[in-house]
Chains A and B, each alone.
Chain A
Amino acid sequence: MPDKELLKIRNIYKSFGLNQVLKGISLELNEGDVLALIGGNGAGKSTLMKIIMGIYTHDSGEIYIRGEKLTSSKTSEALARGIYMVPQEPLLFPNMTVEENIIIGFDKKASELHHELVQTMQDVGWKMDLTRKASSLSIAEQQIVEILRGLMRHSQVLILDEPTSALTFDEVESLFKVVHDLSSKGIGIIYITHRLAEVFEIATKVAIMRDGIIPVRGDVKEFTRDMLVKGLLPPDAGTVEETAVQTHQKAAGIDYSRPPVFELKDYSGYGFSNINLKVYPGEILGLAGVVGAGRTELATTVFGRDKVLGGKAVLDGRDITGLKTKDVIEAGLNYVPEDRHLNGLFKISDVAANTTSALLPEKQMGHFILNRKKEAEISRKYVDDFRTKVTGLDQQTGSLSGGNQQKIVIARALATNPRLLILDEPTRGIDAAARGDVYAIIHNLRQQGVSILLISSDMEEIVELSDRVMTVCQGRINGEFKGGEINQDNLMSAAFGITKKEKEAKA
């Protein structure tokens, strides 16, 4: 295979405000390469891809396509130079047919394009009804349409962003075949994924991304799964012994003979199934897993946001299965959402209104007239307790830093005095200092006897905080770790779908 260079990226830097997302990224992609790009959430993979596509402008660094420097940051230029990205959620026109979706934006005649499209499909050996409406396609089919769009543009570089995250097993197989075909035709593919198994199945090269840098990259042949897992962990991750001791001490105070505060029995819903777990009084149960593993869906379903398909959720002996959000909160469970901006914050409302928003049904906030004194009192208490930096209770939360916003959202949940608090990615997108504060808040809560279900894809966080950990992978619980077993290595392996048994077998 000719070793011709398609894409070269040199020293890309990118910040959003004060938050530096990419810190000097360099990468190459040759003809026929399938480069697997792996990394945790927030590592900067999507940002990098959006820069390559010209959707974002990079602060510094260069991008070369076939040795030519990319001068402007425009999507149209990237498209013209033969780069095409298949986004994680395909962006098709739902009301158009497959054919219309593919040939939109071309200058040629429709009949010519049709001919070309049929030819392209023959070349890669795909069959698809071109007159179907895009809204009737499965995700896999939508992705194929997106790939066809790329091929019709004679793209030399295809970027696939977590293409298998919503595919069934058979669909994954057919997609892999497509990827193989394309790479054998000399097309370079950047394949972003969360699933380590896939790396060995289809990739020729691998690059690990973490905190805006690529610390490790090379031929897949040079790597083992364990090496990839190691690469995903931060270099200063504590050794197994240290964390084990720490965890052991933490869990010591919990009486596992007492009845659990919260229990899920064979709980199933959209995105997860047959979940069994118990949270004991004063315990922090870590629920580790990558984004898309079904953790958030599990939490939001418990919280009354989606339909329960089976099983039971029991809080303090009371069945809360399928209750409305308001009643779930009243029963003593509250949830700090994963997406702070979408589901957590009222950005153009002030600190006080945010803090007390979940308290409104309660009598202490007044019967009809809002009790402003009480509102201020409660808000003030949480601002002081959490050391939230605000200019006043009347400051709009949209103007706060991410960490302070997160404290407000946690305060909102805590204001309802929950018996169980579900924290979903509590430290995503906030700086180190604020992270420390949030950890302190969580430790304090635990001492006050509040039970916590901590959902996170940050294994370091899980190890530091949890008394006990369960891992979720593809909608199911696939591991439970106690005491000394809780270390980043074990958790990362399980979260990426490598079971213990398998690891031993490989070793």
Chain B
Amino acid sequence: MNKTFGQKCKGFLHSWNMALICILIAEFIVFGAKNPKFLRPQLLFNSMNDFMSICIISLFVTFVMITGGIDIQAGSIVGLVSIIIGVTWQDLHFNVWVSVLTAVIAAAACGALSGFFIAYCGVQAMVVTLGGSFLYAGLALLVSTASSTAAYQGITGYPDYFKIIAKAKLFGIIPSQLLIFIGLAVVAYIILHRTKYGRKVFLVGVNQQAAEYSGINSKAVIMSTYMLSALSAAVAGIILTAYLGTSKSDLGSNFTLNIITAVVLGGTLSTGGSGSVVGTALASVIIGLMRFGLPLCFDRRLQNYLDIPVGLLLLGVVIVRSISQNPNVSRIFASRKQQKAA
């Protein structure tokens, strides 16, 4: 008997993760062959510090996109968190951990605000988070003016015990950022795939009406996913600030394309209802390594062109997926099968 559609989808999801692993391995082979430096653990691990924040945010934007929404404000929250930490610490003389907590609370509030408009007022997620990206980036700039340091300079001079959270290395080689990412990936995996809450996220994304008829408070679920993604942006903001040792209001301003590409490449349906943390995690690392490997192994100048491969990746994935869903295409395949059978 032929496999059912459901099994095919299930199979696809697994094979998709397998495909992502293959791409990852291919990256190592191609980049490694082109420039063996790529494979030097020291360099490789170090490079991860440059893109772990994108990976972390992608994990939780996956939640948002599974509910059928989209989040393009996360990047601006990174900058807001960074500058709040800086200003409260330097100019208000908070303990650095209190500053961090303040920033996290502010981020959660930002996520809650956007999430509220999306879930309870019925505004498209795209528009609200677009407005949000303006608003939170603007607020970041405003906060930065409260500081005695000029905005372009950034606030520096953090104590080592703060910087260590992003600069520590396990066994002297594995960066703490990677460990934080792995830890958060596990947490995200458990929340999304193992808890009752995660199940609700999926159900709301598959069919919000049916979820309501099952007694699920879909609005609260939707709102919460935006808070989660804002919180992940806060974590990214903290890590970036600690790693760079600098607070700047425009950190993360160019993350959006990378985040969305990671989530979409990771197998999350743009219409919602399907996706996986493992897929997003793999995809985000693929993108990160690509950003590291291309300039290193091919042409230094590529450093400035990295939006091209990422953009092409995004376009390629959505186009291929759209074609494969097109009934005409499946019909062609079906007729070929029939011809073969005959």
A and B in direct contact, judged by CB atoms within 8 A: yes
Interface of A toward B, CB cutoff 8 Å: 303, 305, 324-326, 328-330, 335, 337, 342-350, 353, 357-358, 360-361, 365-366, 368-370, 391, 394-399, 412
Whether the Cβ atoms of A396 and B9 lie closer than 8 Å is yes
Sample of 8 further A-B pairs with CB below 8 A, known A348-B273, A353-B199, A368-B196: A326-B217, A343-B213, A345-B210, A346-B206, A350-B6, A360-B200, A368-B197, A398-B6
Whether the Cβ atoms of B9 and A329 lie closer than 8 Å is no
Contact partner of A395 (CB less than 8 A), chosen from B4, B194, B217, is B4
Whether the Cβ atoms of A348 and B198 lie closer than 8 Å is no
Query: How far is it, in angstroms, between the C-alpha of A358 and the C-alpha of B10 when the chains are bound?
Result: 23
Query: How far is it, in angstroms, between the C-alpha of A348 and the C-alpha of B275 when the chains are bound?
Result: 11
Whether the Cβ atoms of A396 and B196 lie closer than 8 Å is no
Whether the Cβ atoms of A358 and B206 lie closer than 8 Å is no
Q: What is the total number of residues of chain B having a CB less than 8 Å from a CB of chain A?
A: 29
Per-residue CB proximity of B193-214 to A under 8 Å, as 1/0? 0111111101100110111111
Whether the Cβ atoms of B199 and A395 lie closer than 8 Å is no
Q: Is B139 an interface residue (CB 8 A)?
A: no
Query: How far is it, in angstroms, between the C-alpha of A300 and the C-alpha of B217 when the chains are bound?
Result: 16
Give the residues in chain B near A357, CB-CB below 8 Å.
Answer: 199, 203, 210-211, 214, 216
Q: How far is the CB of B201 from chain A (nearest CB, A)?
A: 11
Given A329-B215, A348-B274, A412-B214: A353 in contact with B203 (beta carbons within 8 A): yes
Instruction: Name which residue of chain B comes closest to A303, CB basis.
Output: B213
Give the residues in chain A near B199, CB-CB below 8 Å.
Answer: 353, 357, 360, 370
Instruction: Name which residue of chain B comes closest to A368, CB basis.
Output: B195
Query: How far is it, in angstroms, between the C-alpha of A360 and the C-alpha of B214 when the chains are bound?
Result: 9
Per-residue CB proximity of B210-254 to A under 8 Å, as 1/0? 111111110000000000000000000000000000000000000
Question: Which residues between 145 and 196 of chain B lie within 8 Å of chain A, taking CB atoms?
Answer: 190, 194-196
Interface of B toward A, CB cutoff 8 Å: 4-7, 9-10, 190, 194-200, 202-203, 206-207, 209-217, 273-274
Query: How far is it, in angstroms, between the C-alpha of A337 and the C-alpha of B7 when the chains are bound?
Result: 27
Given A343-B209, A346-B210, A357-B216: A370 in contact with B6 (beta carbons within 8 A): no
Give the residues in chain A near B203, CB-CB below 8 Å.
Answer: 346, 349, 353, 357
Instruction: Name which residue of chain B comes closest to A361, CB basis.
Output: B215
Most buried by A among B5, B190, B196, B213: B213
Whether the Cβ atoms of B198 and A370 lie closer than 8 Å is yes
Query: How far is it, in angstroms, between the C-alpha of A358 and the C-alpha of B199 when the chains are bound?
Result: 11
Instruction: Name which residue of chain B comes closest to A362, CB basis.
Output: B196
Whether the Cβ atoms of B7 and A391 lie closer than 8 Å is yes
Give the residues in chain A near B190, CB-CB below 8 Å.
Answer: 369
Instruction: Name which residue of chain B comes closest to A372, CB basis.
Output: B194
Given A305-B213, A337-B213, A348-B273: A399 in contact with B202 (beta carbons within 8 A): no
Give the residues in chain A near B194, CB-CB below 8 Å.
Answer: 369-370
